[in-house]
A and B are shown apart, each in its own frame.
Chain A
Amino acid sequence: MTMTLAPVCDAQAPIARVNPVAKLAAVTAVSTTALIASDWLTPLVLLAALLAVVPFSGISIGALARRLRWLWFAAATVVVVNAVFAAEQTGRILIALGPLEIGTGALLDGTAIGLRVLVAATAGVLGFATTDPTDLADALTQQLRTPARFTLGALAALRLLPLLGAEWQQITNARRARGLEGGWNLVRRARLFASTMFALLVGAIRRAGRLAAAMDARGFDSAIPRTHAREQRMRLADWIVLAAALLVCGAAIGISAAYGVFTAFN
């Protein structure tokens, strides 16, 4: 079990270099638009725009597809469930198998919901996969004035997270050596899982305590307002990215309205 938290992209790619707060705002704008609009065309335009951005993100298509594979599956499930269990089947009936009936109207509605989920999630993955956690914490504390105690505390805890994977393995090995393992017995497995989790938590809490002491010993809890070694602020390029995101959202709604299919809050 290994985990990495570093961004998966090329750090020098244009999107990776955008200010994290600008990216956060852009992702929020696109996701909100997709979730508010309830037709199928608005999210489709947004999805096309997101895919157009991918080459500038520094994430290889393969890596992105891997990160998104469960999401595509989830979106497809959303489409099917919503199409099959629609309140009423409208439009031309496409499939009629005894009690199972799917009309074009319901299929279109289901597709719209699936697309909306997909846009929100893809935008989120693009935003976070191209953002270094340190840069994000810097931007949050400097631009949005989030409390350093919370933001940097979370960042430091994030650094310890990969250790948990290794420790889980060690505890599991130690338990097997003592004669304890889950095997095929589900009850025993569940109990072993709970006790391993407990041992892991005890260790994690101890480590967190030591880390907090080390941070305070280096003045983290001092009353003086801290300075920032790395500057994060909105540059011209960041404003342009944000403006472009808002423009795309507006355009998506505009195109959909021009086709006469736009609906919202449904």
Chain B
Amino acid sequence: MIPVEFRGFAWRHAGRRAQAVAGVDLRVEPGERVLLLGPSGSGKSTLLAALAGLLTEDSGEQDGDVLIDGKPAAEQRDRVGILFQDPETQLVMARSGDDVAFGLENQAAPRDRIWPRVHEALEAVGFPYGLDRPTHALSGGEQQRLALAGVLARRPDLILLDEPTANLDPEGAQDVREALRAALADTRATLIVVEHRVAEILDLVDRVIALGPGGTLLADGPAAAVLAEHGDHLAAQGVWVPGVPLPTRPPASPGDIALRGDALALVRPGADRPALDDVSFELRQGELLAVTGPNGSGKSTLALLAGGLARPTRGAATVPGEPRPLHKLPARRLATRVGSVFQDPEHQFVTASVRDELAFGPRQAGWPKDRIEARVAELLERLRLAPLANANPHTLSGGEARRLSVAGALAAAPGVLLLDEPTFGQDRRTWGELVDLTADIRDEGTALLAVTHDRDFAAALAGRELVLDHGRIAQERRR
């Protein structure tokens, strides 16, 4: 249990003009459990990195002080533990037990004290396997629980959680929250959590601090009071405030068939069962078909096959007016028939400016120059990307990059758009923008298929839902 204090703290990342946070004054009392809220760009992650002692002199410019138990954070590294978003890049070792031991070795714990504490930490997070379990064979939720055990084993007096469930599917996120709940009941450490999804984490905290742009203080106090008073404002800023209703955009009746999947199957080499097995479906103009199901059920495989990006072992995906199945089309023709938007927008960026990114598909398809220019201007305007027309796609914020990846896939006017987890990890404001954008595209007559874990997204937009399990259609629901 230790107090934490920011005194006139400001930080500018090396190479940036603006400060990430400026003039932050905050005090967290020993043993307090704090939820730190704020829109993207409010510097939440910067504050956590400062507390974890990860803002080194060569990475930027600091003003003011960050004090943990009265001493600069950089000197208190050993008393602080931090859990990050991405489970994949937090694990160091190949075997689970070794990974938890890693942090204890760094603390110079003697060998005979290491292993009892490893066992204790793994038990605290409900880790279901033995010490030798390979870390690469764990699911995202299991990896994140293991990383949490690695934090707890060092017995920190201050625990920092930086969106600990943002990269996980709903089941994994639930498991991690339960592990957190159990582990926090056993410790008296001071806790600071950054999380967009407020409802799920509210019972773990007793104080909410809401930040505005640049780290300005918006609200501070008991959770219930802050949310009651500032809930609407926070929701508008991008926080998932419980009880604030979400928009829905119900579909009109669908038109003609735009894409047909016929007994699609894919068997990966060396796999013991097909990733997808005998899946047939139709996609119509002006509708959104949600494809749901647990991890490993074949959702993403279905999107790849429907998008003509992988060769099916059996069956074919076709669009009307195109005699060849999609996977046999040359890429530049495919892009005029079916657009695909992937989870990581950056994988799709192939040029150095937003404008070129939008012109790329039409150019590949051989459109005349004036038609390309008109199309680019229209998309820039509609997706509110005009002020960024000359920016490099890799410098965009998460929400902007997502909009650009959708616009890029739409540029060559395909009749079908496939989306893989479009709302994954987005804040509430970006989420709302994506729902509106997707609904507009759908209502113009484009056929949409969205692979998603996000129940709210499916509820807001989908006319039908395809539930997959073990590579097969388990259920087809009409909404």
B-contacting residues of A (Cβ < 8 Å)?
2, 6, 132-134, 152, 155-156, 159-160, 162-163, 170-171, 173-181, 183, 195, 199, 202-203, 207, 210-211, 213-220, 222, 224-231
Contact = CB atoms under 8 A, between A and B. Distances in A.
B429 interface: no
Given A173-B342, A177-B335, A217-B52, A159 B105 contact: no
Most buried by B among A179, A203, A216: A179
Contact of B365 (A159, A179, A183, A216): A179
Nearest to B340: A177
A227 B110 contact: yes
B371 interface: no
Interface residues of B, number: 70
B253 interface: no
B82 interface: yes
The 5 closest A-B pairs by CB, nearest first: A179-B335, A219-B106, A179-B364, A229-B101, A218-B103
B350 A231 contact: no
B13 to A, nearest CB: 13
A266 B392 CA distance: 58
A174 B330 CA distance: 14
A183 B270 CA distance: 27
A224 B108 contact: yes
A42 B7 CA distance: 74
B107 A224 contact: yes
B331 A152 contact: no
A183 B98 CA distance: 45
B324 interface: no
B89 A210 contact: yes
A227 B90 contact: no
A227 B105 contact: yes
B409 interface: yes
Contacts of B211: none
Interface stretch (B176-184, B256-264, B302-310): B302-310
A180 B364 contact: yes
Contact of B409 (A156, A177, A180): A177
Contacts of B346: 199, 202-203
A227 to B, nearest CB: 5
Nearest to A229: B101
Given A220-B106, A227-B114, A174 B54 contact: no
Contacts of A210: 84, 86, 89-90
B342 A174 contact: yes
Given A170-B344, A174-B347, A178-B348, A226 B105 contact: yes
17 contacts: A132-B94, A170-B344, A173-B304, A173-B310, A175-B348, A176-B309, A177-B342, A177-B409, A178-B348, A179-B335, A180-B350, A183-B330, A199-B347, A222-B77, A229-B105, A230-B98, A230-B101
Contacts, number: 165
Contact of B111 (A6, A170, A174, A229): A229
B342 A219 contact: no
A218 B365 contact: no
A230 B93 CA distance: 13
B109 A227 contact: yes
A190 to B, nearest CB: 15
A133 B136 CA distance: 14
Given A159-B94, A178-B408, A229-B111, A222 B342 contact: no
B278 interface: no
Contacts of B107: 219, 222, 224
Contacts of B82: 217
A228 B109 CA distance: 9
Interface in B85-134: 86, 88-95, 98, 101-111, 114-115, 118, 134
B140 interface: no
A142 to B, nearest CB: 11
Contact of B92 (A133, A159, A174, A180): A159
Contacts of A174: 340, 342, 344, 347-348
B215 interface: no
B406 interface: no
Given A159-B135, A162-B136, A177 B110 contact: no
Given A178-B350, A178-B408, A179-B361, A226 B106 contact: yes
Contacts of A160: 88-89
A228 B105 contact: yes
A98 to B, nearest CB: 48
Given A213-B54, A229-B114, A156 B335 contact: no
